[in-house]
C-alpha cells in the first residue's frame, strides 16, 4: 500500500507560522495526520526486526529489544556477555543509505540539491522514499519501529519552548535549521505553484515528468521532512567517514546513550557490528556512546540532555569582545593601583597580543567555552591577564600556552585583577539569563510533581508561569545545566583568587623579574607568542 500522506506533527509549521522563522504570511498545515497512516502501521512486535536482520545474512546473539528507560526502545543483554562478544552483525544490505548503484536518479538529483554538510537532510530524502514504499520497502520491519514523533527535538518545540531555552547559540541553530528547510522546500517545489497544497507542502509533487519525483507523486510536507531529518540526526551513523553518506543501522540504533558505554560499534568485514566493551550481566541495558557531545548537540540532534552536571562535554559559549571584559571589570569593581575603577583600554600592544591569541584581527575566532574539565577557557584567562596588565612587560614574551595556563599566574597583582574581571564576566553571563538556577530548579520540581508552587520573582522580573509542556520542561532543564556550569566556573575563580591572596610568595615570572630589574623582557617572536621561554 502506498501512503498518500506523510504528515507527522504540526509543530514544525507552527514555528514557521508564528513569525520566529518566517515573518509575515501564514504556514498552512494541511492536516495533522499521524505518520501511521503513511503506508506503514507502527508495530510493537520487535522480533520481526531481529528476524529481518537474520534473513539478510546478519547475526544477532545475546541481545534483545526491550522497553528503554526513556519511553522508547532500548537494547538489553539476554545472557551474560564476555568482553568483546559480538552481539549484532549488520551486513551492508541492512544499512539504510542512498547509493548510486541502488537509487533512482530522481532521488540522487534531489539529494544533490542539499549541501553535503546537511547530511541528515540528504539521508532524510531516502528515509521518506522508503517510508512511502510501505510494505514493499525492504526496510519495512525497521520503519515500523521508528518513533512517529520526536518531541524532544527543539525544531518541533512550540515557540514558548524555544524561547524557554534562553540560550542564543542553540535558539539560533533551531531557527537556522527550520529556515533552511523552509527555503529549500520552496526552492525545490517552487513557490506559488497554485497547487493547493499551501506553504506547508514541500515537494508536491516534483516535476511533472514521469519518474522525476522520488516520492512517486505523494505530497511530502515540511512536517514529514522535519520528522525524517530528526530521525536521521538522532539515529544515523557515519560508518564510512564524513565523505560518504551517513547510514541508519537498524537494530543497532536501538541502543540508548551513556557516556559510560558498555557496547561499541566497530567496522567488520562486510558491514558493522555491535560488540561488548566489558562483561555485561543478563538483563543489563546496553549503552552506546553517541560521542563526546555537549548538551547543545544532544538536544539539537537527539532531543535529550544529560542533566545534573553529568555531561563532561557540556559548555557555555561566550563570544569574546573587549566590552565583555570591561563589563566584567565594572561588575566586580576592579580597581587600579591608585584605587580608581580599572579601565580595560585596548592599547596597540594589547591588541597585538589578543590578535596572537586569535581573539582579534582578521583570523579571529572569538568563540570561548566555559565548562569541560578545565572549566575556564584558557584564552579568556589570557585575555583578562593582558587587559589588566599595566605594562607590556607583565605579559609579553611568554608564549600563548603560558599565558593561557589557568594555574600559572604571571604575577600577584595581575592575577588578582584578572580573576576579578573573570568573575565579573561569569556573573554577567549568568545575569543574561531571564531566571536564576534556583528559580529553574523550583520550576522543574513543580512540573515534575504537578504542583502549582512557583518561584519567587526577583525585583523587575516579569511574572513567571508554570511550565506548560514537556518542551518547556526540557528547555528549562537545558538552561539550568548552563547555569550550573557558570556557577562551577565562578567557584573555580573564587578558589584561584583565594590561592593568589594566600600565596604571598607567588613565584615571579621571567618577564616580571626582568621588568623589575629595569631590563626589557625578551620580545615576542614574530609568530605570535612563539616558543616557550626557557626555564
Ligand atoms: C538511537 S535512538 C535509541 C533508541 C530509541 N530509544 C528508540 O526508542 O528508538 C536515540 C533516541 O533515544 C533516546 N535516548 C537515547 N539515549 C538517551 C538518554 N541517555 N536519555 C534520554 N533519551 C535517550 C532519545 O530520544 C534519542 O533521540
155 in Cβ contact with 177 (< 8 Å): yes
Judged against a pLDDT cut of 70, whether residue 163 lies above it is answered with yes
Q: What confidence score (pLDDT) does residue 47 get?
A: 87
Helices (H), 286-371: 295-297, 322-331, 348-356
167 in Cβ contact with 173 (< 8 Å): no
Three-state secondary structure call for residue 136: helix
Among the four given CATH numbers 3.40.50.620, 3.40.605.10, 3.90.25.10, 3.90.1410.10, the one describing domain 11-302: 3.90.1410.10
pLDDT tens for 378-411 read: 999 999 999 999 999 999 888 899 999 999 999 9
Split at pLDDT 50, 70, 90, the class of 211 is low
Judged against a pLDDT cut of 70, whether residue 533 lies above it is answered with no
Q: What confidence score (pLDDT) does residue 505 get?
A: 46
pLDDT tens for 504-525 read: 545 444 334 433 444 333 332 2
197 in Cβ contact with 215 (< 8 Å): no
Q: How far is the CA of 482 from the centre of ligand 1 (A)?
A: 22
> How far is the C-alpha of 148 from the C-alpha of 293, rounded, in Å?
25
pLDDT tens for 327-340 read: 999 999 998 878 88
Q: Is the dihedral of CA 369, 375, 378, 382 positive or negative?
A: positive
Q: What confidence score (pLDDT) does residue 231 get?
A: 95
Q: For ligand 1, what atom is nearest to the CA of residue 146?
A: 9
Split at pLDDT 50, 70, 90, the class of 126 is very high
Residue 83 CB partners (closer than 8 Å, separation 6+): 276, 277, 278, 279
What is the maximum alpha-carbon separation in the chain? Answer: 88
Three-state secondary structure call for residue 112: helix
What does the DSSP assignment read for 465-479? ----SHHHHHHHHHH
Q: What confidence score (pLDDT) does residue 75 get?
A: 97
Percentage of the chain modeled with pLDDT above 90:
60
pLDDT tens for 362-383 read: 989 999 999 998 899 999 999 9
Q: How far is the CA of 257 from the centre of ligand 1 (A)?
A: 7
- The phi and psi torsions of 344 (rounded to 5 degrees) equal -90, 75
Mean pLDDT (whole number) for 462-476: 91
User: For atom 19 of ligand 1, which residue has the closest CA?
Assistant: 257
> How far is the C-alpha of 242 from the C-alpha of 348, rounded, in Å?
42
Split at pLDDT 50, 70, 90, the class of 198 is very low
Q: Is the ipTM of this complex over 0.90?
A: yes
> How far is the C-alpha of 359 from the C-alpha of 362, rounded, in Å?
9
Q: Say how far residue 116 (Cα) sits from the centre of its chain.
A: 19
As given in the structure block, the three cell numbers for residue 180 are 533552511
87 in Cβ contact with 60 (< 8 Å): yes
Q: What confidence score (pLDDT) does residue 453 get?
A: 79
Q: What confidence score (pLDDT) does residue 162 get?
A: 95
> How far is the C-alpha of 197 from the C-alpha of 5, rounded, in Å?
12
Residue 74 Cβ < 6 Å to ligand 1: yes
Q: How far is the CA of 290 from the centre of ligand 1 (A)?
A: 10
Among 64, 154, 257, residue to substitute to test ligand 1 (most atoms within 8 Å of Cβ) = 257
Q: How far is the CA of 150 from the centre of ligand 1 (A)?
A: 10
Judged against a pLDDT cut of 50, whether residue 292 lies above it is answered with yes
Residue 190: burial class (beta carbons within 10 Å; 0-12, 13-18, 19+): exposed
Among 35, 63, 68, 71, residue to substitute to test ligand 1 (most atoms within 8 Å of Cβ) = 68
Residue 235 Cβ < 6 Å to ligand 1: yes
pLDDT tens for 414-455 read: 999 999 999 999 999 999 999 999 999 999 999 999 887 788
Q: For ligand 1, what atom is nearest to the CA of residue 68?
A: 6
Residue 439: burial class (beta carbons within 10 Å; 0-12, 13-18, 19+): buried
Residue 254 Cβ < 6 Å to ligand 1: yes
As given in the structure block, the three cell numbers for residue 289 are 556512546
* CATH class in words for 315-516: alpha beta
- Domain layout of the chain by residue ranges: 11-302, 315-516
Amino acid at each position: 500500500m502506498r501512503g498518500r500522506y506523510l504528515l507527522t506533527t504540526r509543530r514544525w509549521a507552527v514555528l514557521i507560522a508564528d513569525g520566529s522563522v518566517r515573518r509575515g504570511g501564514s504556514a498552512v498545515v494541511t492536516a495533522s495526520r499521524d505518520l501511521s497512516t503513511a503506508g506503514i502501521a507502527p508495530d510493537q512486535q520487535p522480533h520481526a526486526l531481529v528476524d529481518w536482520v537474520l534473513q539478510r545474512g546478519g547475526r544477532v546473539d545475546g541481545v534483545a529489544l526491550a522497553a528503554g528507560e526513556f519511553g522508547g526502545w532500548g537494547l538489553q543483554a539476554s545472557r551474560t556477555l564476555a568482553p568483546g562478544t559480538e552481539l549484532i552483525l549488520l551486513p551492508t544490505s541492512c544499512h539504510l543509505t542512498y547509493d548510486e548503484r541502488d537509487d533512482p536518479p530522481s532521488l540522487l538529483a534531489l539529494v544533490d540539491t542539499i549541501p553535503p554538510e546537511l547530511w541528515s537532510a540528504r539521508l532524510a530524502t531516502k528515509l521518506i522514499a522508503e517510508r512511502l514504499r510501505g510494505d514493499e520497502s525492504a526496510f519495512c520491519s525497521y520503519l515500523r519501529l521508528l518513533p512517529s514523533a520526536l518531541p524532544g527535538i527543539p525544531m518541533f518545540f512550540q515557540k514558548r519552548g524555544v524561547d524557554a531555552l534562553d540560550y542564543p547559540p542553540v535558539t539560533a541553530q533551531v531557527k537556522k535549521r527550520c529556515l533552511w528547510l523552509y527555503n529549500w522546500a520552496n526552492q525545490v517545489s517552487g513557490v506559488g505553484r497554485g497547487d493547493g497544497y499551501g506553504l506547508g507542502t514541500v515537494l508536491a509533487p516534483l516535476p511533472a515528468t514521469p519518474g522525476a519525483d522520488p516520492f512517486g507523486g505523494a505530497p511530502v510536507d515540511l512536517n514529514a521532512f522535519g520528522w525524517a531529518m530528526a530521525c536521521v540526526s538522532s539515529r544515523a551513523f557515519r560508518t564510512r567517514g564524513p565523505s560518504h553518506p551517513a547510514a541508519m543501522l537498524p537494530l543497532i540504533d536501538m541502543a540508548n546513550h551513556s557516556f559510560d558505554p558498555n557496547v561499541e560499534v566497530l567496522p567488520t568485514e562486510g558491514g558493522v557490528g555491535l560488540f561488548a566493551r566489558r562483561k555485561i550481566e543478563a538483563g543489563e541495558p546496553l549503552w552506546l556512546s553517541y560521542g563526546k557531545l555537549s548538551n547543545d548537540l544532544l538536544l539539537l540532534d537527539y532531543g535529550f540532555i544529560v542533566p545534573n552536571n553529568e555531561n563532561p562535554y557540556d559548555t557555555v559559549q561566550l563570544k569574546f569582545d573587549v566590552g565583555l571584559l570591561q563589563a566584567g571589570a565594572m561588575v566586580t569593581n576592579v580597581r587600579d593601583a591608585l584605587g580608581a575603577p580599572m579601565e580595560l583600554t585596548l592599547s596597540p600592544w594589547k591588541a597585538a597580543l589578543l590578535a596572537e591569541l586569535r581573539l582579534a584581527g582578521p583570523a579571529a575566532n572569538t568563540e570561548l567555552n566555559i565548562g569541560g574539565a578545565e572549566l575556564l577557557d584558557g584564552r579568556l584567562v589570557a585575555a583578562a591577564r593582558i587587559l589588566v596588565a599595566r605594562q607590556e612587560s607583565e605579559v609579553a614574551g611568554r608564549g600563548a600556552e603560558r599565558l593561557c595556563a589557568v594555574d600559572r599566574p604571571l604575577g600577584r597583582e595581575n592575577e588578582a585583577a584578572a580573576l576579578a574581571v573573570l568573575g565579573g564576566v561569569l556573573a554577567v553571563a549568568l545575569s543574561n539569563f531571564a531566571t536564576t538556577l534556583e528559580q529553574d530548579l523550583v520550576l522543574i520540581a513543580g512540573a515534575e510533581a504537578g504542583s502549582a508552587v512557583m518561584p519567587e520573582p526577583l525585583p523587575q522580573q516579569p511574572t513567571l508561569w508554570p511550565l506548560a509542556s514537556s518542551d518547556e520542561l526540557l528547555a528549562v532543564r537545558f538552561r539550568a545545566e548552563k547555569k550550573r556550569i557558570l556557577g562551577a566556573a565562578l567557584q573555580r575563580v573564587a578558589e584561584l583568587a583565594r590561592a593568589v591572596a594566600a600565596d604571598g610568595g607567588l613565584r615571579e615570572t621571567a618577564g616580571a623579574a626582568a621588568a623589575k630589574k629595569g631590563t626589557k623582557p625578551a620580545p615576542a617572536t614574530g609568530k605570535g607568542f612563539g616558543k616557550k621561554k626557557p626555564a
